[in-house]
Structure 1
Amino acid sequence: MASESSPDPVTTKIMTPISRRAALRSSACAIGLALAGCLDDIPGRSSDGEETPPEDAGELGTPAEGITVTANSRPYPEFEPQIVHIVPGGTVEWLVETGRHDVTAYHADGHGPHRSPEGTEPWGSDRLTGVGSAYEHTFDSEGVYDYVDTQQVCTSHEVAGNVGRVVVGWPDPDSEPAMTEPQSELPSQVAKAITLFNEESRPVLEAGP
């Protein structure tokens, strides 16, 4: 009588403490990589995990840590953008693209009339001549700062209305000299621009962050 063949032995793999830890490490790595991939897709966060500024950073209502304002002479003297919004300690750079310009605060101790926060010093650049000329200023104190281009090339840039505004933080608009009506000694084009600045700035500052 032929003997029945015994079944193949079943091989059982025993997981030792060392192999168990290795498996756990592999699982942890896989989970970490998956999470990293998910984090890359989070809006407002770069691939290295740092937050990226919103696209409208520097516009009214979205203070930025830094922003660049361009200065042009064609077809007319103009700062762009005319109003910027930064955080306290933020920096604004003015960059000449065409023509000759300067950046001068409206301040009682400098180029009047006074349209700067109380207790701040006058500030401004020298003449900026040539494409690529630049000036930057860091604003440590919260407030609203109006400024002007005082250069005269064929015509006065101030008379032409080349003015701008820097809003720093979230000041009370009722306590800011720059938020008052434009003074009578200002050129008419400047007065019109400042009136528009106030109409745009006040509701944003009153609404707050």
Structure 2
Amino acid sequence: MASALLLFLTLPFVFSVDPKCPEGFHYFKRAPTAWNNYTKEWCLGVIDGKEDCGNRDFARSICINHNATISMPENKHEFEFVTKIPGAKKTKINHAIDGQMSPRCVNKYMKHHYWFRKETGECNLKKGLFLFDDINTDPSFILDNSEGSPNHDDAHRVNETTSLVKYISTCLTIMGGQIQTEFCFGQQMNEYNSKAADIRTVVCGRPPL
């Protein structure tokens, strides 16, 4: 009887402990909705990749190595947490986050230079312009506060006899505390041009332990 009473008294303490996140991650409670796959709690971390996280495949691999997925802040509270963490060389807040423009929309931009905030079809900023890896984060906050998409494009020609090669910034980032797009292939855009921003960190997300 005494042992049963002791177990009863300890149960509330066992189940009242907040879920924990792995080292380098911060715990957040969320309002579960259909847009975030009814996620009640989530761990976010800003991981230093030591190299060029502007390369989207490399940024993804950094998160995977931490048993996480490339992610993003879902609300103002999470955004303020993420933007307080310095990026490369402790001088700029430059982070890769989830969100890459769909190939279909990239093709539309190449042909027509759409302004996607006004596009009413599948490439509307709030509808299908971006594809996301993280199914547990609602991207609405990021899309509502983005600086426009894409933010910039570029082009080069090897010589006068070759075709003009165009490319646009299609990956979402947090640059200096602002949400915008950058080139997905990182700092070294190609052998002729390396204007892309220096991004050494990536926002990763995962469930609590």
TM-score of the alignment, normalized to the shorter chain, above 0.5: no
Give the TM-score of the pair, scaled to structure 1: 0.30
Q: Which structure's relative contact order is higher, taking Cα pairs within 8 Å and 6+ residues apart?
A: 2
Give the TM-score of the pair, scaled to structure 2: 0.30
Greater Rg over alpha carbons, structure: 1
